[in-house]
């Protein structure tokens, strides 16, 4: 295991400060769009952001990158292991997420799944400069969100979610791990 992966694993095992997470993020090489094709399983990096625990509680699985023009930014997993894609346009960003009991999230997602489920891609990959490095970034089609990716190793990415409309200076950090052999149903 390389040193960057070891450092990330230590950070995943405990809460990190925003400063520590950005210091690590800034040491990593920018990802290239062509390196991202496929399905990636996500996990949160705890830094105290209001979203913390929300995606995990909702059954978030990760992301799927089909091409530069076709990206599924929100892939979720049912309790039976089946994956489905969600339209991010239908997910509100202005709720008091830090006050929502996490135990209510998964049942709510099950109820609204028929409404938020989609087969259409909802983002694109572009190279964007962020914190001094030009690299792969996922630009949501109809949300003011850009996810920026840095490489820990060829199969592990550290990402940040840059949300223009959030009323906070905190940044949401997440990790993506490449999934081999796991495809999604159309």
| pLDDT at site 185 | 46
Pick out the chain residues at pLDDT < 70: 1, 92-98, 166-168, 181-186
Q: By three-state DSSP, how is residue 40 classified?
A: strand
Exposure of 157 in the CB half-sphere (CA atoms within 13 A): 28
Inter-residue contact 135 to 127 (CB < 8 Å): yes
| pLDDT at site 181 | 56
Q: For residue 136, what are the contacts with CB-CB under 8 A and spacing of at least 6?
A: 30, 31, 32, 33, 35, 36, 125, 126, 127, 148, 149
| pLDDT at site 186 | 44
Q: By three-state DSSP, how is residue 52 classified?
A: coil
Domain 3-178 fold is Lipocalin (2.40.128)
């Amino acid at each position: 295991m390389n040193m960057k992966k070891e450092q990330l694993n230590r950070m995943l095992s405990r809460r990190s400060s925003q400063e520590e997470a950005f210091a690590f993020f800034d040491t990593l090489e920018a990802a290239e769009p062509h390196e991202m094709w496929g399905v990636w399983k996500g996990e949160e990096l705890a830094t105290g952001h209001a979203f913390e625990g929300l995606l995990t509680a909702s059954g978030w699985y990760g992301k799927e990158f089909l091409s530069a023009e076709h990206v599924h930014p929100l892939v979720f997993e049912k309790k039976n292991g089946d994956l489905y894609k969600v339209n991010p346009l239908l997910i509100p960003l202005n709720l008091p997420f830090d006050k929502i009991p996490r135990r209510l999230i998964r049942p709510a997602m099950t109820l609204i799944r028929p409404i938020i489920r989609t087969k259409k891609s909802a983002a694109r990959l572009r190279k964007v400069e962020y914190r001094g490095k030009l690299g792969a970034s996922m630009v949501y089609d109809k949300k003011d969100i850009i996810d920026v990716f840095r490489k820990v190793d060829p199969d592990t990415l550290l990402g940040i979610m840059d949300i223009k409309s959030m009323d906070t200076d905190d940044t949401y950090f997440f990790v993506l791990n490449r999934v081999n052999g796991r495809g999604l149903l159309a």
